[in-house]
Amino acid sequence: MTCIIGFVDKNKDIYLGGDSAGTNKNHDLDIRKDEKIFKKGEMVFGFTSSFRMGQLLRFRLDIPKHPNKMSSYEYICTLLMDRIRRCLKNGGFAKVSNDVEEIGEFIIGYRGKIYHVYSDLQVAMVKDNYDSCGCGKLMALGSLATNESKIPKIIVLKALEVAEKFSGAVRRPFKIIKLKYEGK
């Protein structure tokens, strides 16, 4: 299920795109009205794995204040991830098996950067100015790597279209949101 794309332009503005497919283990498909990407405070989120996880992040997550002297990466990896873990655990979503905690997968855009949160709670930053998650990830990354358009929204839209063309679990309507870089 899903294709989420994060793209950072030359001005450090973040474009986050996502599809509307909802699938289950039987590969049944629903086109959902509840969106997989959203703005929350100074951040944008895009999720795969579970709509329940996305609902908890969107409606229950209390984003902590970012201390002035802390880097954005350290803030995401520590203060924010601690809140996310607590939010998902309290919401009944986080799974613990053999003392290993597991959540879903999502992308966070914050202060001109893309952060990819994996199910084992690691936070990754890739060297490229884009990333993707979901079953359409590889198709989207291929499109992003070869797209020479100068318009960021077109780059993200084309990557979603390519993922939809080659993945049975990626569907329109697509949504793209922009988070303007405020220079912090």
Query: Rounded distance, CA 20 to CA 169, Å?
Result: 9
Of the candidate ranges 20-29, 30-39, 114-123, 157-166, the one whose mean pLDDT is the lowest: 20-29
Whole-number pLDDT of residue 96 = 86
Cis, peptide link before residue 67, omega less than 30° from 0 = no
Buried b (16+ CB within 10 A) or exposed e, 110-129: bbbbbbbbeeebebeeeeeb
pLDDT of residue 90: 96
Weakest-pLDDT range from 26-35, 78-87, 159-168? 26-35
pLDDT of residue 148: 83
pLDDT exceeds cutoff 80 at 1: no
Taking only the tens place, the pLDDT of each residue in 11-51 is 999 999 999 999 888 888 899 999 999 999 999 999 999 99
- Element spanning 84, H or E: helix 81-90
- Per-residue pLDDT averaged across 81-109, rounded? 94
Report the CATH fold assignment for 4-179.
Answer: Glutamine Phosphoribosylpyrophosphate, subunit 1, domain 1 (3.60.20)
* Mean per-residue pLDDT, 170-179: 96
Residues in Cβ contact with 7 at an 8 Å cutoff, skipping those fewer than 6 apart: 14, 15, 16, 17, 114, 129, 130, 144, 152, 155, 156
| CA–centroid distance for 76 within its chain | 14
How far is Cα of residue 64 from the mean position of the Cα atoms in its chain?
A: 19
Once rounded to an integer, what is the mean pLDDT over residues 97-114?
A: 95
Taking all residues of the chain, what is their mean pLDDT, rounded to a whole number?
95
**The 3-state secondary structure of 152-163, one letter per residue:** HHHHHHHHHHHH
Residue 8: strand, helix, or coil: strand
| pTM attached to this predicted model | 0.94
**Extents of the domains making up the chain:** 4-179
What is the pLDDT confidence band of residue 178, given thresholds at 50, 70 and 90? very high
Structure token digits, residue 108: 């966070």
